[in-house]
Amino acid sequence: MTASYPALRMRRSRASAWSRALHRENVLTPADLIWPLFVTEGKGVEEPIGSLPGVSRWSVDGIAKQAKLAAELGVPCIALFPNTQADRRSDDGAEALNPDNLMCRAIKAVRDACGNDVGILTDVALDPYTNHGQDGLLDDAGYVVNDDTIAVLVDQAINQAEAGADIIAPSDMMDGRVRSIRMALEMGEHHNVQIMAYAAKYASAFYGPFRDAVGSGGLLKGDKKSYQMDPANGDEALREVALDIAEGADSVMVKPGLPYLDIVRRVKERFEVPTFAYQVSGEYAMIEAAAAAGAGERDALVLETLMAFKRAGCSGVLTYHAPLAAKLLSQ
């Protein structure tokens, strides 16, 4: 039921700032953000990433400082991604299982620096460790095999949990991996380690800068369409999410972000579980390119896009703009 003009003037409630504040339906705070960070070897190293202007790879000591900054800014969680040195990449991604790999050293350094002031999310997938850039093991025909890959992912997840990861985030899209990882975590007494499943992850053209950042882009031949989802599909995302919840995911993620907000909304309405979205590297780069071209104002673009995630139903957003957004939001 509604009145009509002039009894109803929608502009009445928009006429002043206090009234707009009073009627605002959604809020965005630094606590809604997860900040992805890239780790590289060395000490005191900062390597800017060309296709992600404003984002760098940091050596482990620098990662710890960034994590402290996150805590100071009220950003509750960081996500770590390693740029594994070339001579440690192999067919089978075995470096993922090394308890002293870059990732594990970064996890420990963040824990030492921040205690429990910041959550540590770690990606489970083999692409930063393989010499072919795929997320799993290949058979002779170059197909990414499912079940043998899961066995490695389980060991990778346990390796990360043992180093101190708080949230294990399988991003590989293999079938059945959430159940296997959950069971292994339970058996390993990691009862409180969460799983945030990349449940609906699309085979997207928006991941390019990320692959530069972790150094897998130049290695990757072909695409990831035999495991990541077809951008044409929506119902299939709901099946993926249902499976991951049934297998023991604590929260689910939709990825990329803005082009898939319809999926976020459907997931949230259907399952009523904590739902996250990843505003991925290509989305970040688009905003930066627009700002650099004078086609939009960076701060406003960042805050508007992040609010869109909240409106769509997200509990939180992974975004490279997290520190900027957190600063803007606390002004």
Residues forming contacts to ligand PBG in the complex (CB under 6 A) are 123, 125, 127, 135, 171-172, 207, 210-211, 224, 280-281
Q: Look at residues 195, 145, 198 and name the one whose alpha carbon lies nearest to residue 173.
A: 198
Q: Which is nearer to ligand PBG, 113 or 226 (CB)?
A: 226
- Backbone φ and ψ of 45, nearest 5°: -95, 130
**Least distance in Å: CB of 202 to ligand PBG?**
9
Q: Which amino acid, one-letter code, is at 192?
A: N
**Least distance in Å: CB of 258 to ligand PBG?**
13
**Least distance in Å: CB of 280 to ligand PBG?**
4
Residue 215 tokens, joined: 């150094």
User: 201, 224, 268, 310: which one is catalytic?
Assistant: 201
43 is catalytic: no
Q: Look at residues 75, 143, 53, 63 and name the one whose alpha carbon lies nearest to residue 108.
A: 63
**Least distance in Å: CB of 57 to ligand PBG?**
13
**Least distance in Å: CB of 126 to ligand PBG?**
8
C-alpha–C-alpha distance, residues 116 and 200, integer Å: 29
Q: Which is nearer to ligand PBG, 245 or 277 (CB)?
A: 277
User: 224, 255, 268, 310: which one is catalytic?
Assistant: 255
255 is catalytic: yes
Q: Which is nearer to ligand PBG, 53 or 113 (CB)?
A: 53
**Least distance in Å: CB of 247 to ligand PBG?**
18
Residue 330 tokens, joined: 């606390």
Q: Which is nearer to ligand PBG, 93 or 313 (CB)?
A: 93
C-alpha–C-alpha distance, residues 220 and 135, integer Å: 10
Residue whose beta carbon is closest to ligand PBG: 210
Q: Look at residues 331, 327, 325, 330 and name the one whose alpha carbon lies nearest to residue 306.
A: 325
Active centre residues (catalytic): 201, 255
